[in-house]
């Protein structure tokens, strides 16, 4: 990897208890001003971030193993991205692509057509958030097929808007008491090798027979799936699961939508996670890592599907904002220059053995899984598969108190997920993993 000059010292350095006094003061102000429904996993307020570190308002330098939920793959203040943003903002921040269009949007669309799987004529439409991209992919699939049903999977996460809440599997905290939900959404069993022990083919047949009985292929507009589930627990389906579903979808005129919002843009060691399974989706939804932290999302896919939609049917005031497009183009340049897919594979090679060793030594980690720089530990009660969310939470909290930002996830709240910025240095990454391992060993020592 080309070496990266970091603006901030790449080190873990605690100068106060966490959270420090300034963070605590902000928490007090926040309680009086910010809606309680917006959570924060870490009660520490950011002042600066670069490479693999976040510096808080008290001057603590923390190792970032979350990258703002898989967003800042190129770092949170990469100079190429920052310059592109400043340069575009100095010319125009907005005109609205639906009013006076601009080239940046087209360039992003051209890039996404070239990068996403599949060698066919593609079109792209840009939005602001992952949820918006998913909603619009469903709109396109429904219009193009003339069908209304959409199938999503157990453990799925697709967003917090009304349609995407319906598509998301977990009630608490995402759906509870927010209904009624959008109709015509059906849930299928996911392949979860650690918990179901099925091969990919068996798990796919289980899902297909359920949907043939309960929905009927002729009513189904789209199959929507995360190729590796994110919020649901970094669940990597058994080999062949995705391919069997994609083949079935093709045979029945069902639009196969891959939600690559979390897995996209080099995170898993390929540009898109579908590539690991040789899957070519009809539509791909993208966000997060696409624009180095600026809000941008996209639906890219078959021209014959996207171009069916009448003018004005897709869009939004801010969709494909010019500053966000400039950030995306700069991020892609950085990802290519640093070969971040290779870097994600190198991160896996460096980290996975340490995680495996930790699992073997402690007996509280039932599964070590993931791909590239999207790795996870599933915590269970010793010797079985009963989820242990209490230990999981304690590991994240104790790691934070030692200066490492770690995120949890999972339907059962028992998964620690590792999503470091792809530009994190080897030593800092190793130190972060060492802190995690020490915490797990200490918390489970008898």
Binding site for ligand PMP (CB under 6 A): 69, 129-131, 134, 157-159, 226, 230-231, 259, 261-262, 287
Please tell me the distance from the alpha carbon of residue 20 to that of residue 44, in angstroms, as a whole number. 8
CB neighbourhood size of 292 (10 A):
30
Please tell me the distance from the alpha carbon of residue 364 to that of residue 445, in angstroms, as a whole number. 11
Nearest residue (beta carbon) to ligand PMP: 130
Task: In angstroms, give the least distance from the CB of 164 to ligand PMP.
Answer: 7
Nearer to ligand PMP, 243 or 261 (CB): 261
CB contact at 8 A, 440 and 364: yes
Nearer to ligand PMP, 174 or 186 (CB): 174
Nearer to ligand PMP, 131 or 346 (CB): 131
Task: In angstroms, give the least distance from the CB of 334 to ligand PMP.
Answer: 21
Distance of CA 181 to the CA centre of its chain: 23
Nearer to ligand PMP, 139 or 252 (CB): 139
Q: Give helix then strand counts, H and E, for the chain.
A: 14, 15
The values of phi and psi at residue 415, to 5°, are -125, 130
Task: In angstroms, give the least distance from the CB of 264 to ligand PMP.
Answer: 9
Task: In angstroms, give the least distance from the CB of 132 to ligand PMP.
Answer: 7
Please tell me the distance from the alpha carbon of residue 256 to that of residue 302, in angstroms, as a whole number. 11
Enumerate the β-bridge partners of residue 50: 53
Nearer to ligand PMP, 58 or 226 (CB): 226
Task: In angstroms, give the least distance from the CB of 90 to ligand PMP.
Answer: 27
Please tell me the distance from the alpha carbon of residue 239 to that of residue 21, in angstroms, as a whole number. 49
Nearer to ligand PMP, 4 or 236 (CB): 236
Task: In angstroms, give the least distance from the CB of 33 to ligand PMP.
Answer: 22
**103 — alpha (psi -120 to 50), left (phi > 0) or beta?**
alpha
């Amino acid at each position: 990897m080309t070496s990266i000059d970091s603006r901030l010292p790449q080190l873990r350095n605690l100068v106060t208890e966490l959270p420090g006094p300034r963070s605590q003061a902000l928490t007090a102000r926040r309680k009086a001003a910010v809606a309680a429904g917006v959570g924060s996993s870490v009660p520490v307020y950011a002042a600066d971030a670069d490479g693999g570190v976040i510096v808080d308002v008290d001057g603590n330098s923390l190792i970032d193993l979350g990258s703002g939920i898989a967003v800042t793959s190129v770092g949170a203040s990469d100079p190429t991205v920052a310059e592109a943003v400043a340069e575009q903002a100095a010319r125009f921040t907005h005109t609205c692509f639906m009013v006076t269009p601009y080239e940046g949007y087209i360039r992003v669309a051209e890039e996404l057509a070239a990068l996403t799987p599949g060698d066919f004529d593609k079109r792209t439409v840009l939005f602001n958030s992952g949820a918006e991209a998913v909603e619009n992919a469903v709109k396109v699939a429904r219009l193009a097929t003339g069908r209304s049903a959409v199938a999503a999977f157990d453990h799925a996460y697709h967003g917090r808007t009304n349609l995407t809440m319906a598509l998301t599997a977990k009630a608490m905290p995402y759906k509870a008491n927010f209904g009624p939900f959008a109709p015509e959404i059906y849930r299928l069993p996911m392949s979860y090798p650690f918990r179901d022990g099925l091969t990919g083919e068996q798990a796919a047949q289980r899902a297909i027979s359920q949907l043939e009985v309960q929905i009927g292929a002729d009513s189904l507009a789209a199959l929507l799936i995360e190729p590796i589930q994110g919020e649901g627990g970094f669940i990597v389906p058994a080999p062949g699961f995705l391919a069997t579903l994609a083949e079935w979808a093709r045979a029945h005129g069902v639009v196969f939508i891959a939600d690559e919002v979390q897995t996209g843009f080099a995170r898993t060691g390929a540009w898109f996670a579908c590539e690991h399974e040789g899957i070519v989706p009809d539509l791909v939804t993208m966000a997060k890592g696409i624009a180095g932290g600026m809000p941008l999302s996209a639906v890219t896919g078959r021209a014959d599907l996207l171009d069916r939609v009448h003018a004005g049917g897709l869009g939004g005031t801010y969709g494909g904002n010019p500053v966000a497009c400039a950030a995306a183009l700069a991020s892609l340049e950085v990802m290519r220059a640093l070969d971040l897919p290779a870097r994600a594979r190198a991160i896996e090679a460096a980290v996975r053995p340490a995680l495996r060793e930790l699992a073997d030594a402690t007996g509280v980690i039932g599964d070590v899984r993931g791909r590239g720089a999207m790795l996870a530990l599933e915590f269970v009660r010793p010797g079985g598969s009963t989820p242990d969310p209490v230990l999981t939470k304690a590991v994240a909290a104790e790691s934070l108190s030692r200066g490492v930002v770690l995120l949890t996830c999972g339907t059962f709240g028992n998964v620690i997920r590792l999503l470091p910025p792809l530009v994190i240095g080897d030593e800092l990454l190793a130190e972060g993993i060492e802190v995690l391992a020490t915490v797990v060993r200490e918390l489970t020592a008898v």
